[in-house]
Every structure is written in C-alpha cells, then in structure tokens.
Amino acid sequence: MRILLLLPLAACTAEPAEPMLAKTQQAASVCADGPTIEGIDVSRFQGTIDWAKVAGAGKKFAYIQISRSLTDIDAKFPFNWAGAKANGILRGAYQRFHPGQDVIGQADLFLNKLGTPEVGDLPPMLDVEDNDGLSAATVAAKVKQWVDHVEPVVGLRPIIYTGFFFWRDMVGSADMSQYALWIANYSATCPLVPDHWTRWAFHQYSSTVNVPGIPDNTTDVDKFNGTLDDLKALAARPICDEVIAADGGVVDDASACFTAGGDPQFIRHEETAGFGGTLQWTHTTDNAAPANFGLWQLDFAEAGKYRVEVSTPAPFNQSKQAVYKIAHAGMVDDVPVDQSSADGFQVLGDFAFDAGATDQSIRVNDNTGEPNSTNTQLVFDAVRFTRSGLPTPGGDGGPPPDDPIGSAGCSAGGAAASWPILALLLGLRRRRRR
C-alpha cells in the first residue's frame, strides 16, 4: 500500500468527556483515544520475512496481502500468513481493490485464499486507493458490494484502508462509517479522517521503516488505536457451535453465537445484570447507517416454527424504536420493538426456521432514529426460542405455561407483549425476500 499524504501536523480534536463518545462529529485531525499498539502491513515486496525477529521487535499485529487485483496474486501470502501466526502475531489479510474489475470475482478470490478464519484472526481489510477512472459514486458502490459480500462469509466486519484526499476526491460523501477506518497519513501524529468517520482504528504513519526481520527497509508501519485487549476484541471469536434444541433454547450475549459488532469503544458490558448475569448495550443514533449492532447467529437442530422472545432488562432498555431483523428460512422480517415496554422477555412473534446453520440470525442496529445526543440506551441480551405449540417456559422472565402468548402484561419478569401489542408488531413487520 502506498498512499502518500504529506499533510502538516494539525491540532488534535478533544474527545467528549461522556461515558461513551458521541458517534457523530465534524471530520478533523483526530488523535488516538489513548494507548496504541504497533504493527505492520506487508506483501511480497518485503521479501522473505523472519517473523520471529518481527515479533521480537514488538510488532503485535500484521496485515498480509492476498492480491493486488483479480489477477495479481501475492505468492508470499501462505508463507507470511503461517509465519505471523506461528510467532504469536495477530494477523489479518487484505486485498488491494480495483473497482474497474469484477468485484465479486475479487472478493471470492480473497475468500478462497483466506479460507476459514481461525480464532484470533483479525477482520479482513480492503485497500481502497485505486479508482480505475470510475466516478466517485461508482467506486463507493463497488466498495460496498465487496464488503457486503465478504462480511457474512467471514463473520467479521471488514476494515477500509484509504487516504483522506483519495476518499474525499475519488469516493466522495459515501457514509461507510460503520466500517472501521485505516487511514494512511505519513506526516501526522493525529491523522486527518474523512467525513462521517469520528475516529480511526488504524493509522499507517510511515512506509519506509527498517523493521528487524524484514530485508526491505520500506516496510509499512501502523498503529492500532487502543490496547492489545481492544485489538483482540476485533478478532474472530470461537465458531458458533451452540445448537438450539428441537423444543427451543436460549442464545445469550455471553454466547460465542453473539457478536456486538462495530467500534468496540461504543459497547458497554454489564456483568451483574440481564439474563444469566450479563448484558451489553450501546447508545442509539439517527445516522443513515449503523455504527454498532448486536447479532445472534442461529443454528437449529430441527426445522420448525418457533416463538421468538428478546430480553430487554431495565434500566438499559431505553430505546423505543429498536428494529430486530430476523433472518429465517430464506426470508428477513423487520420487527419494531419498544424495548422500554418490558423489563424482561418480550415476544417478537412466531417464525419458521430451517435446520442447521443456514445463514439465520437476529440483528438489531444502533441507528434506530433516536439521536445520539439523547444518550438513549439500546440493550443486547438473550434471545429465547420456544417451539410453537409448546408452552413458553416460566421463570427467567417468561410467562407462565398457561399464558403462552404473554397476555399477563409487562410486569418485571413477565413477557412483554399482550395480544393487542403482538398484533400491532406483526402488522408492522416489513417482509422481503432475501
């Protein structure tokens, strides 16, 4: 990667002194939030790397090139990919993107060379520094096509690498702030970030550093904006291997089948609240695109219709406009929910699910329409499934067996939806084919 940006040093922006940072602000020169972690990004142009020496030099992560287009494949990728892992360096893969070529072809090449990410592998990165003579709107659309294709396969939200002026002039005003930013800016301690992004996740601050173990002295060096634990939090988690039994079950936020996605600085963890004693939450926004989300991956032992309930414990259940997107049996249903209406489980409805892990999930995004300035909390906790026709289990916030729909009302520990409310929710669902 060689985006050379010779920018003057600029004053750093002050971060708001709030429990969670605001998710919108003017684009500016932005400093790191606190500690940073050193890493590198490499390709075949760095020669044969001694990864033990790289690790000894204190480099904690490495991004490794798979290809520079659909046809220019990096022959050093397998060696570098294995070498980084063997020496305890967190690794991620990237592709230099050419929007003038077949987008899905490039994405599939990337995925085929990458294979299945292992636990601890970092999210994929798309290197956006070529426009191939296309318009900004076209480049933006093709970037979105690539990340939309790669994310569900890898299970991690991709990172976008670019430069401020390239993005401004060649991609335009496209809001892709839901993807972490890797900014190239070789002359600034506090790099300038494009519109819509409020911070950077990675900063490529030089391309000419002599790193021990790398024969070429033109190595790209980078900083991660956060601690080592923050960096590890971006990485692949254990594969979702919890199967929902034929009569139902619960997928909690503590499960490997749950992901709190987006920028980790905006996610809060509570260890003494919620189903099973844990929950997570974030603040809502009225942005066009989500910055954070909760995602429950689903794997059913047996196909059938299941009642779906979500846990919305107080006082974290402040959003009145949450929308749960339920991907099931080849369809997606959007179910609006007033989280504040129940301190406990509330019913989303009955849905048909296929057997197995067949791209079925439940997702709720933070861009509910409630402005970030209101500090409205959106909670991610447990999702409960009960085979339709069977009594919904009592206890743990569920309605009694003789009240399977939850008509007991919205008392704490009870189901949220009475028949009229459930009917309203079902009437508001927007169904579309996938």
Instruction: List, in sequence order, every residue forming a beta bridge with 361; answer none if it has no partner.
Output: 297, 327
302 is catalytic: no
Q: Are 220 and 17 in contact (CB under 8 A)?
A: no
**Catalytic hit among 15, 129, 302, 359:** 129
Q: Are 266 and 21 in contact (CB under 8 A)?
A: yes
Phi, psi for 385 (deg, rounded to 5): -125, 130
Long-range CB contacts for residues 265-272, cutoff 8 Å, separation at least 24 = 265/20, 265/21, 265/33, 265/199, 265/226, 265/230, 266/20, 266/21, 266/23, 266/291, 266/292, 266/366, 267/292, 268/19, 268/20, 270/316
Query: Which residue is associated with the tokens 């919904």?
Result: 392
- H/E element holding 164? helix 164-166
Q: Are 83 and 49 in contact (CB under 8 A)?
A: yes
Q: Is the peptide bond before 401 cis (omega within 30 degrees of 0)?
A: no
129 is catalytic: yes
Which residue stretches of 179-227 are H helix? none
Q: Are 27 and 193 in contact (CB under 8 A)?
A: yes
Which sequence positions are flagged as catalytic? 41, 129
